[in-house]
Amino acid sequence: MTAQRLWTSPTWQIMFALLCGVGAGVLAPEQAVALRFIGDLFVDAVKLFVGPVIFLTVTLAIASLRGAELGAASLTAFLYFEALSLLSLMAGVAGALLFQPGAGLVLPPVHMTAQAAAHATAHAAQSTAFAPGFADVALRTATHSVALPLLVAGIACGLLLARRPGLYMHWTPRVAALSGALFALVKTLLKLAPLAAFASIAFIVGKYGLGSLTPLLKLLGALYATTFAFVVLVLGAIAAACGAHPWRLLVYLRDELVLVFGTAASVASIPPLIGKLTRLGGAPALVQVLLPVGFSFNLNGSSIYLSLTLLF
């Protein structure tokens, strides 16, 4: 790879920005902490524009799919998501039991006032009822998730267009044009990802310092080791069964992986991933539906993290 191609590669730009951010956090911690707003602004902007992209993409894909084709793909995807979610939760538990990242960790005692203790007890007693607790979790998921509400709305609008030929012929070209414009806008926005990665890591190192992160390094190592094993053993086996070379697939998706790692905004990778998976041979309509659905219902990395840190 030439020096020019190396410098223009999004992967190396973000990696270089992360290294510079660590240096800035160590050398100028006070100034580094003040950079937090840049990373927050980038994530908020990505969520603002990726949401409409998900809605329009799913609407177009659902409208263009036949009922039988959509039903078969949905059933297969549901079974796949359920199996992978279960396996990822099991992997997180296995990683926690194997590495025991919380062994030897002594936390300071928590001092609570009588009023705070009474409030916590009342809240715990209230949450023991299944229906209110479940409704609360569902409501929080729907209101805090970027993709889920727009995904449901996109499916509903797509089904409406598919059942009304007149509406389909009238609105589909307009929706496609607007979707293309938003894709171009998000692509331009993602060019600022190295700056956001620099600001985010500089804030973390500047605020907490490298030394303060030492107790969590074991947890971080256990998390990455478990995730790596899951990718190699589970996802690698699935990719090989589908005729894809696991390592080549990871290399092909390296820019998106580094983008998520550097910015901690997984939704930012949806637009470029749709394009890459389509160029790889995936049916455009199925990719446009199943990828956003997977981001809402098949969060294997989050499942590994939650089960591992719960035991931590």
Confidence category of residue 1, pLDDT binned at 50, 70, 90? low
| Domain membership flag for residue 11 | no
| Domain membership flag for residue 21 | no
CATH assignment at residue 172: 1.10.3860.10
Domain that holds residue 134: 28-104+113-311
Beta carbons within 8 Å of 202's beta carbon, 6+ residues apart: 20, 21, 22, 24, 25, 32, 35
Token pair of 5, please? 């191609």
> Looking at the 3D structure of the chain, how many domains does it have?
1
Question: How do residues 224-249 score in pLDDT, each as one tens digit?
Answer: 899 999 998 999 899 888 888 888 88
Flag whether pLDDT at 274 surpasses 70.
Answer: yes
Q: What is the pLDDT of residue 287?
A: 86
Q: What is the pLDDT of residue 87?
A: 92
| Domain membership flag for residue 98 | yes
In whole angstroms, what is the distance from residue 140 CA to residue 205 CA? 30
| Domain membership flag for residue 37 | yes
| Domain membership flag for residue 301 | yes
Confidence category of residue 118, pLDDT binned at 50, 70, 90? low
| This model's pTM is above 0.75 | no
Question: How do residues 60-89 score in pLDDT, each as one tens digit?
Answer: 877 777 555 666 777 788 888 888 988 998
Q: What is the pLDDT of residue 138?
A: 43
| Domain membership flag for residue 62 | yes
Confidence category of residue 128, pLDDT binned at 50, 70, 90? very low
Task: Give the burial string for 98-117 (b: 16+ CB within 10 Å, else e).
Answer: ebebbeeeeeeeeeeeeeee
CA 240, 98, 94: angle at the middle one, nearest 5?
Answer: 55
Question: How do residues 5-54 score in pLDDT, each as one tens digit?
Answer: 556 677 788 888 888 988 898 898 888 889 988 988 988 888 888 788 88
